[in-house]
Amino acid sequence: MIAAQDGHGGAYRRLLGELAPWLQRYFERRLPPGEVDDAVQETLLAVHRRRHTYDPAYPLRAWLAAIAKRKWIDQLRGIGRRPTDALPDDLAISDHEAMVTSATVLASLLEQLRPAQAQVIALVKLQGYTIEDASHETGLSASAVKMNIHRGLARLTAFIEKTDDVE
C-alpha cells in the first residue's frame, strides 16, 4: 500500500489483486451469494478512492476491515430497501417423489456393481463425462472405462431382469 500511495502502478495492481480474495471470503460469510461480487467491487472502489487516507503507522488489515464493514452495512441497507413480492397462494409446486424414488433405486442398483463399474457408469452415463474425461478422472485407460461400462450395464440388466418388483 505504501508503494501504491507513492504512485507505483504495479504495486497498486498487486495490492488490489491480493485484497480481492480476502474481501470475497469476508463478504461470503456475511451476505447472500448474489450480493458478494457487488460488495467486493464497491469495497475495492472505496479503497481506490480512499487510499490516500491510509496511515502506514497502522495495520493495513484494520484499515481495510473498517472500509469493508461500512460497505457491508451499505449492502445490507440496500437489500432491506428492495421491494419483495409475496408468493402467490396458488403457486404450483412439483412433486419430487418420483425423482427421489428414481435416485434411490438407481443408487441401490449401482451398489450391486463393482466400484470401478459404478464409478464410470455414474461419470459417463449420469454426469455426461466423455470416455477420455472419465479415463483421466479414474486413472483407467479409455478401453478399461468402456469395458467397465459395458460389463456394468450388462450386470445391471441381468439384475433387473431377475427382480420381480420392477415397474
pLDDT of residue 166: 54
- Give the CB-side neighbour count of residue 48, counting CA atoms within 13 A: 12
- Give the CB-side neighbour count of residue 137, counting CA atoms within 13 A: 16
For residue 16, what are the contacts with CB-CB under 8 A and spacing of at least 6?
44, 47, 48
pLDDT of residue 24: 95
Task: Confirm if 72 and 31 have CB atoms less than 8 A apart.
Answer: yes
According to the CATH classification, is domain 2-81 in 1.10.1740.10? Answer: yes
Residue 38's nearest CA partner among 3, 84, 72 is 72
Output the tens digit of pLDDT for each of the chain's 167 residues. Answer: 888 778 877 888 888 899 999 999 999 999 999 899 999 999 999 998 998 898 999 998 999 999 999 999 999 998 888 777 777 777 777 777 878 888 888 888 889 899 999 999 999 998 899 999 999 999 999 999 999 999 999 998 888 888 776 55
Same fold, 2-81 and 97-162: no
pLDDT of residue 159: 86
Side chain identity, residue 9: G
pLDDT of residue 68: 95
Measured CA distances, 28 to 40, 70, 76, 162 (Å):
10, 15, 13, 51
pLDDT of residue 165: 63
Q: Which 3 state secondary structure label does DSSP give 157? A: helix
pLDDT of residue 167: 54
CATH top class, domain 97-162: mainly alpha
pTM (whole model) above 0.75 = no
* Per-domain residue ranges of the chain: 2-81, 97-162
Joined grid coordinates for residue 82? 428492495
Inter-helix orientation angle 60-81/33-50, to 10°: 130
